[in-house]
Chains A and B, each alone.
Chain A
């Protein structure tokens, strides 16, 4: 927990409450290590990896009794190889994620979700990787399950700054090709991009047998579009500016946005991906708890409402 204390985006209390739950994969995972997740193959891994301290609740069959005899302490014996769950966290860090509403920046909210999930997954013994979509391209940290790796991920998250524009669909296509083995892919973005290529990229992900979950992050302002005076809107991803009277354009803006959200949600349902629409004024712990519990129940998360 030393890493937690240093990170503003991690809340120890939240982690403690959520750690009672297990982040589960809905699809069978391919891995050499005996783990919490259903494997696509029979048998288990036998290659020793490292020791770790016993934690209450651990299966005592993996206790190394010889170490206990020598040191009078409980150590769990872990085996090196591929874990059963490889989780790829994909975070959109383009300019639009930098929108700052009354409840903070969207990217900061996304970072909280990503960091918390990474922490939970690592501590339940799964490998976690991070892919950040930036204007400069896709920045990847490959999946690992060590505490040191988690620190690496958290460092990367802490250093993130939103800006520029990027082709999200292209980035997802690339990622789908790079992650060869079945993995759980969680995408955190506002998905403000053309719907057709985006859906195409997500389908590509599913084609690669990845367990796909989408977190669409929206600010309350972006949804309601309620302003009481004419506004000059400055694009976060370019230098484009637009002066308009929201009273005049609000109705059409909402219609356009709703159509986009509806297409994304319907498409996700059609090709079996989880879809979470997250308004950033909501408690992120609740968002994560809902997601994890839905996974545990084995249902498809498809929250279209205020998730």
Chain B
């Protein structure tokens, strides 16, 4: 790769010595000669060494000229710039990663990876010379023309965001643009930290994408500028929940956060807690890589907002988590149960006081689900798994943000895999032997329906005595679909409670029933809080306050105008985390949790995803000596080589002359 490729024509000069040699051979002179016998002997016997020396001299001359010509072309030693210089494409599509993890500071340069990427793009643009540049950024996925990569640095579409990146979608957008516009020879310049959760290597979309890109003519070249350096010191804060509490005339908000750190260093961490603009600082104890912090803060009645913030580290973007709270939320549920007793118990668990905003309807699985027009947050389904319209209705309900709890049928049913319900099925019912019930020995206490109480006490899950249980056949994660996660399990490892995210909502599956011959769930000590938490989760969408993930959230109506709440300057709810307000509705947007754990793909994995495509991955690690990731010019090396070849040529020529001089001295 060279900075002055035109000078490569100078390499033809390397042929000059050979051409001159051949011309000399062609323009020979004829001479009638007498002493032919000596000449024949001379050419026949011992000219090999002389010939070799003369060819070496010729080679030295040619190589010296080639070195000088190549030095004039200003060669580069590898690196990102070297990779992007291979020819001039008609168009360069820049796929730019604006995810939150790109805000990680480079350990030496102290510059976010995103800005380092912009800097390297600008350098490549100065050297390149493509016909035009199109940028597709991870936040908007919209192809937009730019004058040059240098101009990108000042543009909105290159600014930092709190979103995650969807690389299959980015490549899909690029492939569609190429197929639609047919721009001629195209290069794809990919700028990314190779964050695994963004690239989604398990996605089933990759083979098709690679085939589409490989099928585009002329051949598309993919040049990946990888910035996979891990942060040296980074903690990330993520919201688990924020709930308003009312105890008599005292109002408070219970905030639960998760703190992740890559370095696993225990110690006290000062956390700034901002509640409705009031700033306080509290120390939290960090035990290691993952901490769950909960704090109840005194708050006024009504709606409110706040955020917690960690001290500055190598990624300022993942230090803050926002929350909103308050407002009257309808907590209504629907129980569809085969067993009347279970139905009544579950109805009580959903709505202990069946009045006002807290209601629970009871029906059977055979009746149509009356979900439309109601503020239903939870559906409890006890019995054989639904099929057909009912299954589709439940899935849609969960996709819109509702929660569904499945409980097993009392009778044994054949193993049926329900595609509509994400490959979940009930297995055989198993009874405990003798008088030893099944015991739940593990459950997730940090978050979820079985998390500990506001005052930090555990639910009495361990005291549950389960006499009968149904086997849960759960599908693992596939492609972009999240898999089932076991939240609680029996001693033998079989699941008691499992969860799967579906759209904005969630499916739960519990292995036993609140029937007397199944378990003692009916005592309510575990069942009621568990169901109540599921209901709260499913009813969140009816709350005037909403928590959502930045990038995944979209306004329900184009007429809604969301503005930043408080004094924070982030005003774009589509890309920036923060607290936003639209009329009486409040919204807290946070980064996706996947951005907080940095697990980059390897270069080989990236090449594997784009099998069949011309892919070059350049990992730009900062040089410890120079602090620079740009490749260096190596023309001085070629000048030195050229001089060395000339010296060798001179030495060989002198050897020749010395040999001749010795012989001349002995001549008559």
| A243-B27 Cα distance, complex, nearest whole Å | 11
Render A208-249 as a binary contact track against B, CB cut-off 8 A, 1 for contact: 000000000011001110010111111111001011110111
Given A223-B668, A230-B24, A305-B668, A252 and B46 contact (CB-CB distance below 8 Å): yes
Contact among A99, A231, A258 with B28 in the assembled complex (CB-CB below 8 Å): A231
Given A253-B39, A255-B42, A96 and B34 contact (CB-CB distance below 8 Å): yes
Given A251-B660, A253-B42, A304 and B34 contact (CB-CB distance below 8 Å): no
Chain A residues, Cβ within 8 Å of B664: 224
| A254-B662 Cα distance, complex, nearest whole Å | 11
Please determine whether A253 and B667 come into contact, CB atoms closer than 8 angstroms.
no
Extra contacts besides A233-B31, A234-B31, A242-B43 (15): CB < 8 Å: A98-B32, A99-B33, A190-B35, A192-B35, A231-B30, A233-B33, A234-B33, A236-B34, A240-B36, A249-B42, A254-B667, A255-B42, A257-B35, A305-B668, A306-B668
Given A232-B28, A234-B31, A242 and B667 contact (CB-CB distance below 8 Å): no
Q: Shortest Cβ distance from B368 into chain A, in angstroms?
A: 103
Contact among A192, A248, A256 with B50 in the assembled complex (CB-CB below 8 Å): A248
| A235-B33 Cα distance, complex, nearest whole Å | 5
Q: What are 21 A-B pairs with beta-carbon distances under 8 A?
A: A98-B32, A100-B32, A190-B35, A192-B34, A219-B34, A229-B29, A232-B28, A234-B30, A234-B31, A242-B40, A248-B50, A249-B47, A250-B660, A251-B50, A252-B47, A253-B38, A255-B42, A258-B666, A260-B38, A261-B668, A279-B668
| A224-B27 Cα distance, complex, nearest whole Å | 22
Please determine whether A229 and B28 come into contact, CB atoms closer than 8 angstroms.
yes
| B180 interface residue (CB < 8 Å to A) | no
| B567 interface residue (CB < 8 Å to A) | no
Please determine whether B659 and A251 come into contact, CB atoms closer than 8 angstroms.
yes
Given A249-B39, A255-B663, A97 and B30 contact (CB-CB distance below 8 Å): no
| A257-B656 Cα distance, complex, nearest whole Å | 19
Please determine whether A224 and B667 come into contact, CB atoms closer than 8 angstroms.
yes
| A119 interface residue (CB < 8 Å to B) | no
| A250-B258 Cα distance, complex, nearest whole Å | 89
Contact among B24, B30, B32, B663 with A254 in the assembled complex (CB-CB below 8 Å): B663
Secondary structure of the B side of the interface?
helix
Q: Shortest Cβ distance from A190 into chain B, in angstroms?
A: 6
Q: Considering only CB atoms and an 8 Å cut-off, how many residues of chain B contact the other chain?
A: 33
Please determine whether B54 and A248 come into contact, CB atoms closer than 8 angstroms.
yes
Contact among A249, A304, A305 with B43 in the assembled complex (CB-CB below 8 Å): A249
| A277 interface residue (CB < 8 Å to B) | yes
| B250 interface residue (CB < 8 Å to A) | no
Please determine whether B28 and A249 come into contact, CB atoms closer than 8 angstroms.
no
Please determine whether A245 and B32 come into contact, CB atoms closer than 8 angstroms.
no
| A31 interface residue (CB < 8 Å to B) | no
Chain A residues, Cβ within 8 Å of B43: 242, 244, 249, 252
Please determine whether A106 and B34 come into contact, CB atoms closer than 8 angstroms.
yes
| A302 interface residue (CB < 8 Å to B) | no
| B457 interface residue (CB < 8 Å to A) | no
Secondary structure of the A side of the interface?
mixed
| A229-B32 Cα distance, complex, nearest whole Å | 15
| A64-B663 Cα distance, complex, nearest whole Å | 63
Render A2-39 as a binary contact track against B, CB cut-off 8 A, 1 for contact: 00000000000000000000000000000000000000
Chain B residues, Cβ within 8 Å of A231: 28-31
Chain B residues, Cβ within 8 Å of A243: 25, 28
| A95 interface residue (CB < 8 Å to B) | yes
Q: Shortest Cβ distance from B86 into chain A, in angstroms?
A: 42
| B181 interface residue (CB < 8 Å to A) | no
| B45 interface residue (CB < 8 Å to A) | yes
Q: Shortest Cβ distance from A227 into chain B, in angstroms?
A: 7
Chain B residues, Cβ within 8 Å of A232: 28-31
| A256-B664 Cα distance, complex, nearest whole Å | 14
| A4-B65 Cα distance, complex, nearest whole Å | 65
Chain A residues, Cβ within 8 Å of B50: 248-249, 251-252
Chain A residues, Cβ within 8 Å of B54: 245, 247-248
Q: Shortest Cβ distance from B36 into chain A, in angstroms?
A: 4
| A237-B659 Cα distance, complex, nearest whole Å | 31
| B41 interface residue (CB < 8 Å to A) | yes
Please determine whether A233 and B668 come into contact, CB atoms closer than 8 angstroms.
no
Q: Shortest Cβ distance from B19 into chain A, in angstroms?
A: 14
| B355 interface residue (CB < 8 Å to A) | no
- Closest Cβ neighbor of A219 among chain B residues: B34
Chain A residues, Cβ within 8 Å of B25: 230, 243, 245
Q: Name which of A192, A227, A240, A252 has the most chain B CB atoms within 10 A of its CB.
A: A252
| A192-B667 Cα distance, complex, nearest whole Å | 18
| B110 interface residue (CB < 8 Å to A) | no
Chain A residues, Cβ within 8 Å of B666: 258
Please determine whether A248 and B28 come into contact, CB atoms closer than 8 angstroms.
no
Contact among A106, A229, A244, A261 with B39 in the assembled complex (CB-CB below 8 Å): A244
Q: Shortest Cβ distance from A205 into chain B, in angstroms?
A: 23
Please determine whether B42 and A230 come into contact, CB atoms closer than 8 angstroms.
no
Interface residues of B in 292-316 (CB under 8 A from A): none
Please determine whether B24 and A237 come into contact, CB atoms closer than 8 angstroms.
no
| A249-B47 Cα distance, complex, nearest whole Å | 6
Please determine whether A223 and B667 come into contact, CB atoms closer than 8 angstroms.
yes
Render B618-638 as a binary contact track against A, CB cut-off 8 A, 1 for contact: 000000000000000000000
| A185-B205 Cα distance, complex, nearest whole Å | 107
| A279-B668 Cα distance, complex, nearest whole Å | 9
Please determine whether A235 and B36 come into contact, CB atoms closer than 8 angstroms.
yes
Please determine whether B34 and A190 come into contact, CB atoms closer than 8 angstroms.
yes
| B558 interface residue (CB < 8 Å to A) | no
Please determine whether B24 and A99 come into contact, CB atoms closer than 8 angstroms.
no
Contact among A234, A250, A261, A305 with B32 in the assembled complex (CB-CB below 8 Å): A234
| A240-B33 Cα distance, complex, nearest whole Å | 10
Given A99-B33, A222-B34, A233 and B39 contact (CB-CB distance below 8 Å): yes
| A244-B42 Cα distance, complex, nearest whole Å | 10
Chain A residues, Cβ within 8 Å of B38: 192, 253, 256-257, 260
Chain B residues, Cβ within 8 Å of A249: 39, 42-43, 47, 50
Q: Shortest Cβ distance from B302 into chain A, in angstroms?
A: 103
| A95-B51 Cα distance, complex, nearest whole Å | 31
| B37 interface residue (CB < 8 Å to A) | yes
Q: Shortest Cβ distance from A99 into chain B, in angstroms?
A: 4
- Closest Cβ neighbor of B21 among chain A residues: A245
Please determine whether B24 and A229 come into contact, CB atoms closer than 8 angstroms.
yes
Interface residues of A in 94-108 (CB under 8 A from B): 95-100, 106
Q: Name which of B42, B47, B660 has the most chain A CB atoms within 10 A of its CB.
A: B42
Chain A residues, Cβ within 8 Å of B33: 99, 233-236
Chain B residues, Cβ within 8 Å of A192: 34-38
Interface residues of B in 633-668 (CB under 8 A from A): 656, 659-660, 663-664, 666-668
Q: Shortest Cβ distance from A25 into chain B, in angstroms?
A: 28
Given A106-B34, A251-B659, A227 and B29 contact (CB-CB distance below 8 Å): yes
Please determine whether A236 and B32 come into contact, CB atoms closer than 8 angstroms.
yes
Chain B residues, Cβ within 8 Å of A277: 668
| A236-B659 Cα distance, complex, nearest whole Å | 30
Chain A residues, Cβ within 8 Å of B47: 248-249, 252
Q: Shortest Cβ distance from B24 into chain A, in angstroms?
A: 6
| A237-B34 Cα distance, complex, nearest whole Å | 7
| A261-B667 Cα distance, complex, nearest whole Å | 11
Chain A residues, Cβ within 8 Å of B663: 251, 254-255
Chain A residues, Cβ within 8 Å of B659: 251
Chain B residues, Cβ within 8 Å of A244: 39, 43
- Closest Cβ neighbor of A307 among chain B residues: B668
Q: Shortest Cβ distance from B378 into chain A, in angstroms?
A: 98
- Closest Cβ neighbor of A95 among chain B residues: B34
| A149-B578 Cα distance, complex, nearest whole Å | 134
| A245-B20 Cα distance, complex, nearest whole Å | 13
Q: Shortest Cβ distance from A199 into chain B, in angstroms?
A: 16
| A107-B371 Cα distance, complex, nearest whole Å | 129
Please determine whether B660 and A98 come into contact, CB atoms closer than 8 angstroms.
no
